[in-house]
Amino acid sequence: MNESFQRAVEEVKLLDQRPGYGVLADVYTLYKQATVGDVNIDRPGVFDVAGRGKWDAWNGKKGLSKEEAMVAYIKLVEELKEKYGCTKTV
């Protein structure tokens, strides 16, 4: 599983087109949950809008195991490769 996850981490950087911010948020939150687990930092302050959005999204995955997050991440990257293309290889 770890090898497939690491490959997906590299492949998402090679997409032919950049996904929108909503999709990138999904990629980020699943990555954080798979590598760190449940959110382990304080919520950013009110003036850090982007940081709060990332924190809220990550916190929304609370309780998802690292293994489940890895599986979901790999699946999402495979879907993104189909949708946006990935002609480069790792």
pLDDT tens, 23-45?
999 999 999 999 999 999 999 99
Report pTM.
0.91
Q: For residue 6, what are the contacts with CB-CB under 8 A and spacing of at least 6?
A: none
HSE at residue 8, side-chain half, CA atoms within 13 A, is 22
Separation of CA 25 from chain center: 7
pLDDT of residue 15: 96
Distance CA 40, CA 43 (A): 9
Amino acid at 57: A
CATH for 2-84, among 1.20.80.10, 3.30.70.260, 3.40.50.1000, 1.10.3720.10?
A: 1.20.80.10
pLDDT tens digits, 47-64: 999 999 999 999 999 999
Judged against a pLDDT cut of 80, whether residue 1 lies above it is answered with no
Sign of the dihedral through C-alpha 77, 20, 86, 12 = negative
